[in-house]
Amino acid sequence: MSWNALDLARESVRSLSPYVPGKPVEALEREYGITQAVKLASNENPLGAGERARAALRDLGDSLGRYPDGGGFELRGALAALHGVAASQVTLGNGSNDVLDLVARAFAGPGDEIVFSAHAFAVYPIVTAAAGATAVEAPSRDWGHDLDAMAAAIGPRTRVVFVANPNNPTGTWLARGPLEAFVRALPERVIVVIDEAYAEYVAQPEYPDCTAWVARHPNVVATRTFSKVHGLAALRVGYGVSHESVADVLNRVRQPFNVNSLGLAAARAALEDTEHLRRSREVNAAGLAQLEAGARSLGLSWIPSVANFITLDLGRPAAPVYEALLRAGVIVRPVANYGMPRHLRVSVGLAGENARCLEALERALRG
């Protein structure tokens, strides 16, 4: 047998499948020989970055030879002010995925368990395996998190729990009362990460801002990102808000310059761009309504979503429909890897992009 590094990898990594990102527009155009493709596959902001973030990037040319501010002084200060915490409670990440990874590596290892829900974000099993820990998947309810089932999955070896609120790829969400009861019932030795990547889109009054919980629940880490509503996915900036001692632990395993200078500057500027935030939410609400109306007229059902995507139930294997959409120049996201082979996740785009997706879907379902 030939030499293969897979045989040398830790066992938890050997059984892992790599993360499959949404297909980039350039890849589709190259592979299918088409132009004008539309990508509604990675929950990106269809408006892109705001003016302020773009302007901040233009000023950076002179400092490209320097290392970034490894402590992220300005951005952490601005985030601390935004959330009413101390800067020492903010951990910056190369995307919030980085913060999820830091938590898994810092708090769990071989022999430890990390709990999350079925149909939850695909990065949780990856960071769990990379830490050498054991994943414990709790069953879902109505495609969303079943907090009772998650509580039942907690055992003496549990070190970390990941809760996505809202969840990706289902768009489901948890209300303040049940979520805080769940957190309160957890042993304090369990770190509970509440992943709020889509928080800014959620308009439900019962939706909790868990960055405010760290004062009374020291084991809570709330994570946020600049990749979604702020439209800065390319720059990879996210953060966690936590108890100061949790941030201290994460800082010990963090790569020294995990957030680059462009990301730091653009994120800082984006925080001040309240007009871009407002427009982004407005475009999303209109687009979500458009996609729901379109799905209804196609006779499809969907999982009710509060985020910037909607997951449609095609009532049949989704893979051929996904392929037909690709040939029509529309990229959406298959979610068979989440145990959802009949669903497709569609990110909310601009009105014209949503319309193209619905037209292509209609043809694909008929053909």
Ligand X SMILES: *Cc1c(COP(=O)(O)O)cnc(C)c1O
Interface region with ligand X, contact rule CB under 6 A, candidates 142-150, 227-235, 321-329, 330-338: 227-235
Nearer to ligand X, 236 or 276 (CB): 236
Q: Give the three-state DSSP class for 325.
A: helix
Which residue type does 88 have? S
**Piece of the chain touching ligand X by CB under 6 A; list 11-19, 24-32, 95-103, 319-327:** 95-103
**Which residues within the stretch 97-136 sit at the binding site for ligand X (CB under 6 A)?**
97, 121
Which residue's Cβ has the minimum distance to ligand X?
95
Contact pattern from residue 235 through residue 274 relative to ligand X, giving x for each residue in contact according to CB under 6 A and a dash for the rest: ---x------------------------------------
Structure-block tokens of residue 203: 């308009």
Say if residues 105 and 253 touch (Cβ distance below 8 Å).
yes
Binding status of residue 195 toward ligand X by CB under 6 A: yes
135 three-class SS: strand
What is the DSSP code (8-state) at residue 16? Answer: P
Asked if 242 and 248 count as a contact pair (C-beta separation under 8 A), the reply is no
Choose one: 2-10, 127-135, 173-181, 224-232; the region binding ligand X (CB under 6 A): 224-232
CB 239 within 8 A of CB 224: yes
Q: Is 233 in the site for ligand X (CB under 6 A)?
A: yes
Joined together, the tokens standing for residue 184 give 């309160």
Q: Please state whether beta strands 309-313 and 343-347 pair in parallel, antiparallel, or not at all (unpaired).
A: antiparallel
Nearest CB to ligand X, comparing residues 107 and 309: 309
- Count Cα neighbours of 279 within 13 Å in the Cβ-side half-sphere: 14
Alpha-carbon span 278 to 141, nearest angstrom: 32
Residues 137-156, mask of contacts with ligand X (x by CB under 6 A): --------------------
Cβ at position 284, least distance to ligand X in Å: 14
Size of site (CB under 6 A) for ligand X: 14
**Nearer residue to ligand X within complex by CB, 140 or 356:** 140
225 is a contact residue toward ligand X (CB under 6 A): yes
Q: Is 54 exposed, middle or buried (0-12, 13-18, 19+ CB in 10 A)?
A: middle
Quick check: 158 binds ligand X (CB under 6 A)?
no
Q: Is 135 left (phi over 0), alpha (psi -120 to 50) or beta?
A: beta
With respect to ligand X, which residue has the nearer C-beta, 128 or 364? 128
Closest CA to 230 of 38, 44, 23: 44
Q: Give yes or no for residue 219 binding ligand X (CB under 6 A).
A: no
By CB under 6 A, what part of segment 36-55 binds ligand X? 43
How many angstroms separate the CA atoms of 119 and 307, rounded? 16
Q: Which of 22, 46, 72, 95 binds ligand X (CB under 6 A)?
A: 95
CB of 233 to ligand X, least distance (A): 6
| Chain positions contacting ligand X, by CB under 6 A | 43, 95-97, 121, 164, 168, 195, 197, 225, 227-228, 233, 238
